[in-house]
Amino acid sequence: MQTSITPATILKKMIPWILTGFLILLALTLWGDVHQIRELATDFNWGFLPVLMGFTLINYILRFVKWHFYLGQIGVKNFPAIQSLRLFVAGFPLAMTPGKAGEILKAVWLKDLTGTSISRGVSVVVAERISDGLAVLFLSIFGIIAYPQYSLAFFLVLFLLIGLIVASQIKPLAYFCLNLTKKIPFIKRFSPQLFNFYEGSFLVFQPRATLYAVGLGTVSWFFEGVGFYLLLTKIGLPANLNTFANAVFILAFSTVIAAASTLPGGIGAAEASIAGMLALLLGLNSGMASFVTLIIRLATLWFGISLGLISWAFSLKMLGFKEKKYAEVES
């Protein structure tokens, strides 16, 4: 299989969505009371923002542990942790592509650094997304019980993710489907890569590996929920169990909505769901809901993208930005 995905082409696809993200932030400001948002920004203790980013950083560290664990599952051994970390963080900006399709570039980088086939590397990227999806869904459970109007979307996504994992472990079924691809004219040329992708998926979705990854993901995303709870108390909401439960639920479920939307970075979908649920469930007015949404997105999405771009700046050669021709990489 060949790929013409390059850092330059991915960057070109990202730029319009990064600009769209800033427009969304502007739209949130206009949706709320601009005067109130200005007052809230003036009164807000901006020294708390690094603390909020710290909770996001804990999330990233635990997710990196999962990423490195998955690499071991597919046979990537003796890969220096520092290089693995640089590659992991460099993947953050790739979320700013439709459906996060740009994350396949992580598999290309992994091939260049370790010799692992692109199709097997993609299985790790897919496993990351599915385990993260299950983690935030589990964090949403108590909110779903309290707010059953969201249950349909919750169970649809949950059954889809679990179904994919279960199907990956039924080898006769998987190989039956894979063998069918050899008979389909426009797919059969990719059949070897599909088999390789499946072998990687089978390894990363084994029961023990899945329980470990989802458990680690649940803890990592929980820390972001704790940070969101502290943010809500900073803007005047009571520091009690109800606020905490709603904070974890709102942030987790908005992550599900953002992922289901397939929009780059969940832009628009995440902001709308966070602001909407803050207004609906916690009674915040539009100005305060907008302000809180702006802060949490700065401390999560935009913080991550910034870290990734910094990683790019210090890893130009490793990531292929200095190569004149990076395309046509054989997997």
pLDDT band at 53 (very low <50, low <70, confident <90, very high): very high
- pLDDT, tens digit (0-9, with 9 covering 90-100), for 197-216: 777 777 777 888 889 999 99
Report the alpha-carbon distance of residue 78 to residue 221 in Å, rounded: 28
- pLDDT, tens digit (0-9, with 9 covering 90-100), for 225-270: 999 999 999 999 999 988 998 999 899 888 888 887 777 778 888 8
pLDDT at 2: 43
pLDDT at 89: 95
pLDDT at 72: 92
Identity (one letter) of the amino acid at 69? F
Higher pLDDT, 263 or 322: 263
Query: Is residue 25's pLDDT more than 90?
Result: no
Higher pLDDT, 192 or 13: 192
pLDDT band at 84 (very low <50, low <70, confident <90, very high): very high
Angular region, 239: left φ>0, alpha ψ -120 to 50, beta rest: beta
Q: How many CB atoms lie within 10 A of CB 283?
A: 10
Identity (one letter) of the amino acid at 161? L
pLDDT at 145: 65
pLDDT band at 300 (very low <50, low <70, confident <90, very high): very high
Do the Cβ atoms of 105 and 191 come closer than 8 Å?
Answer: no
* Residue 329 CA: distances (Å) to CA of 109, 122, 226, 292: 10, 14, 42, 44
pLDDT at 314: 85
Residue 331 tokens read as: 């997997």
Give exposure, 210-230, as e/b (b: 16+ Cβ within 10 Å): bebbbebbbebbbbbbbbbbb
pLDDT band at 49 (very low <50, low <70, confident <90, very high): very high
Mean of the pLDDT values across residues 82-102? Answer: 86
Instruction: Specify the 3-state DSSP secondary structure of 47.
Output: coil
Higher pLDDT, 198 or 299: 299
Percent of the chain with pLDDT over 70: 86
